[in-house]
Structure 1
Amino acid sequence: MLSKILANRLMPHLPNLVHHSQSGFLKGRLISENFLYAQHLLHHATTQNFPLAIFKSDIHKAFDTISWSFISEVLQAMALPLTFINWITTCALQGSSQVVVNGLAGKKLTLHRGVRQGDSLSPYLFILAMDFLARWLLKLQLNGNLLLPFPQTLPCLFYADDALFFFKPCIGQAQMLKIIFTLFHSLSGLKVNPSKSQLVFLNTPSDVTEACQQILGCIEHFFPITYLGLPLSNKKLRKNDYTTLIERFKNTLNTWTSSLLSFAGRLVLINSCLSSLPVYFMSVFQLPRWVFDILNSIRRTYLWQGRSTNRRLVTVAWDKVCSPKSIGGLGVLDLYTFNLSLLAKWFWKWHSSDQSCWRELLVNLHGNSPTPPLSSPLSKPFQQLRPIMSTTTYFNITSGAFVLLWHQNWGLGILSSNFPILFSYCLSPDIIVYDFLQHLTAPFELFRPSLTSSLLAQQQLLQLVHLTQQILSQPTSQTHDQIHFKIAPNQLTSAALYNFLKTFPKIPSDFRLIWELNVPPRVTTFSWLLLHDKLPTITNLQKKGMILVNRCCLCKSQAETILHLFRFCPYSLTTRTITSFLSNCNIPNLDMYDALTSTELTSKQKELLAISCYYIWKERCSRTFSDANNQPRSTAMLILEDWRLLHPD
């Protein structure tokens, strides 16, 4: 309890205490940001043909070997209150253990190192200790003792004990890194394990790589390497680099050995497990179309036929399945759209986060701009996201230095659409608002000379200047350009953007009402197929080209259609009548859609109708495949049993 209280008190202050090269266990910092930083630095070194060495370290039993005295000294160096440090020392940095042999406890062994696994305070103490190493490396870099290919970049990245070190590939720098590791081991007890560490080089002579390997005691690896669970490469990912993700999909399915799950059960597993597997990967990479095709094929096959090796009829298009429930879909995650939504958060961080190490790297390498440079690996998805972000964002400007004049909304809408004739005369389509404000008194300099021959274009320019002056005349307390999202009041979330992209500009459907019923999931998914007229009735199977005798197996007199089977079939009518009498809840003779949208029926009546249709269909399938022949009263009793579980009163 005390440890939890101390952790809660320490947690809000950690972002100000810990350098932003550390992303583990800190609110607001993303593990994927560290990977993006490494990816962009590697990409820049490749395009500029700079030599670069990367050392991915593995710390031997990190949580078990860190020195308590070292943690105490770090806490004191950070000027934390002495009373608070004493509480931490008493709670987390003291203890002993005993070895029990045949039920007899031995002597107490006084402990001097290691933080407790599962203790809420342990990860915070560990990252504070690792922050010492980060600050030390930054100081060595500032003093010129640690050399990097690009001066204004970080020498290291940390996610808890997962560390990545960048250095200029030469013997002197490898020796410096070795000395740092040795001294850090003597101070903290944390030792780098060379046998499990990885050393990679870029644009480096072979004699230098061999010397660095001998100094650091680590063999050379080659790109791509795995960093934070993702492939880090200096080139475009190959087809083999995506096989890990695809194999995870297949292996997850192999663990679901049961072939008896219903359609509803398989839908739950797809939404809760399968669809979430590629989310981390998609938060950094834009997956190729062929990967989406394979992943969708795996999900689609499992949804419709489960673990069965027999091919089954796919009755609803995958696009409809991936539509939100509010517009008639099943709400299965559309991976392509969600991939774009996940990448859009980097657009948010680019415009809103001053503490982002990824943004800081790009600004240091390429300078400030409204969007990441074209040389950035994220430039392609950002170009695809531009129309989406233009419609969902707006800026409150002060200087306009980070806002595109024509393609971003800064108070006048999207100018390229609102002033199309004037836009056709502009010299630079990607001009920023700041440059336009500098020419506000002489705006003709930003357009082609032929603008003077178009009266309408000149009128639009004068109107634009007038509206801009009105915006600038409004008082504001902000000190820099601020971005706002129309669909999320505080900040952009991937889920909010995804829902917007999947529903706009579509109109909500009455199909959403089936998900509001208090019925089992198997009944809900059945009702969804029923409303779409996608149940495999004989009529629907004949439409698919199957040659079958079209006769209702319940009454053996009429063709088997959705309308006949659930509304006019004598067996169904009798079953409904018995159910209504025994439940004291009248089931109207309406089809499912009319019943759902009716304002005169109670929710209990709608739920009883849905359950009735489900068991009528179940009886139809039993007669077709098992030669069963239950009477209407037996089916009615099954309906009532399910319904009374939901409404015991």
Structure 2
Amino acid sequence: MLNCEPDDSAVITTTLGCQLAELPLTYLGIPLTLRRPTRAQMMPLVNKTAAKLPTWKSRLMDRSGRLVLVKSVLAAIPLHQILVLQPPKCILKLLEKIQRGFLWDGRAEANGGHCHVNWRAVCRPLSLGGLGVQDMERAGLALRMRWLCQIAPELYACIPKRHRKATSIRDGLTDHSWARDIHGVLGLQELGQYLMLWTEVEATVLTDQPDQLVWRWNANGVYTAKSCYRSTFQGSRACPAWKLLWKTWALPRVKFFHWLANKDRCWTAERLRRRGLQHHPRCLLCDQEPESMHHLTLACPFSRQVWYDTLSWLRLPCRPPDNELTLHEWWITARQHTPKPMRKGLATATLLVPWLIWKHRNSCVFDGEQPSTQRVNDRIKAEAALWARAGALGLRAVLPVDWDVH
């Protein structure tokens, strides 16, 4: 009970048979206080999230498996609280630190070379080149936007409480009297929200029709947290290869590899050279040119021979890669020269071949194995058969008819 006299409180507690408690307190797992929650009040949330890690055998999982746990568990635990509270930024950073460390290194903290990609890029949607991990700050904003005062929360806090409900929309729009209700010193955030609100109010015209809330970021005009979250990325550049990476049938670890390769974050000789680390002067597969991800997957004579052999026994009529800048660019061209029933199989093969070329390259670097196109082709055939049995229906359509993959 807030702002109650002691006598009134005694009557209510006697009637209801309940106890009195003082703020701050925790109710349904949410810390309640008269002010914004402090770091100390939100630390149980961080501890609860970190306590999940020791129970998982992270060293037995690859990064694609850890990504699933980050999305479904570590990113979901704080949602209950950020729905109603705006945690301090230090708390959000601690939560993201736990997620980042578990994804890249399987523990609560990972720094430096363990983190292959900036966390802000990881938290972008799949279509924008990220991994689809929720950005805690953006997600909290989207969830709390359902409350009308969140249209300009910092500016709303500068309006005295006695004016918030006493002034009607018509009175506020008259001669811009709503602006005179703002008190206190305005910072950069408040000024930005003030200018945004002024622009919106200028275009407002009152009519005799009933009021209606229209959410411009959804086709039906209804607010959803999903559409609000996506709107925070408005103006971001889309990733042209995202459908090939994430809509094609392939193992999750293969998709994760291609996502890293698309961002040039695999440890090729070229990347080792840029970091000043020890590296081979030439590609170990062809011994002709410096090794880069583009060279390994598209330009290397060894890889092009593997591509040619694979496309031949898969009965795909498209030509192998030749001077394309990216794997996605070659796939778009090859898709145009492939019959429609075989296109899904082509997409799966586009992810499968570079993956096994990369694994063969690693065997040559770390295990001393000799480059062999025949060995790579045999591994591609064996893996393709396993993928077809596991559910790659598009791949079944292009495999030789005498293969038993059902």
Q: Same fold, TM exceeding 0.5? A: yes
Deviations 1:201-242 (A, max 9, x none): 4xxxxxxxxxxxxxxxxxxxxx42111210112344232112
1:200 aligns with 2:38: no
Which residue of 28, 48, 59 maps to 1:228? 28
Which residue of 558, 567, 572 maps to 2:303? 572
The residue number in structure 1 matching 2:141 is 340
The residue number in structure 2 matching 1:620 is 361
Q: Distance in 1 between matches of 2:191 and 2:331?
A: 40
Mark the CA change 1:368 to 1:281 in structure 2 (over 3 Å): closer, same or farther: farther
Q: Displacement of 1:541 after TM fit?
A: 1.9
The residue number in structure 1 matching 2:351 is 610
Q: Displacement of 1:285 after TM fit?
A: 1.5
| TM-score, structure 1 normalization | 0.49
Q: Is the 1:554–1:571 contact (alpha carbons within 8 Å) kept by the matching residues of 2?
A: yes
Which residue of 85, 104, 114 maps to 1:304? 104
Q: Displacement of 1:611 after TM fit?
A: 0.8
Which residue of 336, 339, 344 maps to 1:600? 336
Q: Is the 2:268–2:293 contact (alpha carbons within 8 Å) kept by the matching residues of 1?
A: yes
1:643 aligns with 2:384: yes
Q: Is the 2:62–2:253 contact (alpha carbons within 8 Å) kept by the matching residues of 1?
A: yes
1:257 aligns with 2:57: yes
1:169 aligns with 2:6: yes
Secondary structure, in 3 states, of the residue corresponding to 1:259? helix
Q: Distance in 2 between matches of 1:310 and 1:327?
A: 24
Q: Displacement of 1:616 after TM fit?
A: 0.9
Give runs of aligned pairs for residues 7-22 of structure 1, distance below 5 A: none
Q: Is the 1:323–1:329 contact (alpha carbons within 8 Å) kept by the matching residues of 2?
A: yes
Q: Is the 1:328–1:512 contact (alpha carbons within 8 Å) kept by the matching residues of 2?
A: yes
The residue number in structure 2 matching 1:118 is none
Deviations 1:94-153 (A, max 9, x none): xxxxxxxxxxxxxxxxxxxxxxxxxxxxxxxxxxxxxxxxxxxxxxxxxxxxxxx3xxxx
Greater fraction strand: 1
Name the aligned partner's letter for residue 605 of structure 1.
L
Q: Distance in 1 between matches of 2:116 and 2:34?
A: 44
Which residue of 521, 528, 548 maps to 2:252? 521
Q: Displacement of 1:634 after TM fit?
A: 3.1
Mark the CA change 1:580 to 1:511 in structure 2 (over 3 Å): closer, same or farther: closer
The residue number in structure 2 matching 1:562 is 293
Q: Displacement of 1:248 after TM fit?
A: 1.9
Secondary structure, in 3 states, of the residue corresponding to 1:331? coil
Report the identity percentage.
Answer: 25
Mark the CA change 1:648 to 1:277 in structure 2 (over 3 Å): closer, same or farther: same
Q: Is the 2:356–2:379 contact (alpha carbons within 8 Å) kept by the matching residues of 1?
A: yes
1:408 aligns with 2:200: yes
Q: Distance in 1 between matches of 2:12 and 2:108?
A: 60
1:246 aligns with 2:46: yes
Mark the CA change 1:169 to 1:558 in structure 2 (over 3 Å): closer, same or farther: same
- Structure 1 unpaired stretches of 5+: 1-41, 51-148, 150-167, 182-191, 193-197, 202-222, 351-361, 391-403, 414-467
The residue number in structure 1 matching 2:214 is 484
Q: Displacement of 1:258 after TM fit?
A: 3.3
Larger Rg: 1
1:283 aligns with 2:15: no
Alignment coverage as a number of residue pairs: 358
- Structure 2 unpaired stretches of 5+: 152-160, 173-177, 338-342, 398-406
Mark the CA change 1:319 to 1:200 in structure 2 (over 3 Å): closer, same or farther: same
Q: Distance in 2 between matches of 1:229 and 1:308?
A: 23
Q: Is the 2:39–2:90 contact (alpha carbons within 8 Å) kept by the matching residues of 1?
A: no
Q: Distance in 2 between matches of 1:583 and 1:252?
A: 45
Deviations 1:482-531 (A, max 9, x none): 221111224211110111111x1234331222222222222222222222
Q: Is the 2:248–2:348 contact (alpha carbons within 8 Å) kept by the matching residues of 1?
A: yes
The residue number in structure 2 matching 1:314 is 115
Q: Distance in 1 between matches of 2:167 and 2:34?
A: 24
The residue number in structure 2 matching 1:450 is none
| TM-score, structure 2 normalization | 0.75
Cα RMSD (Å) of the superposition? 3.7
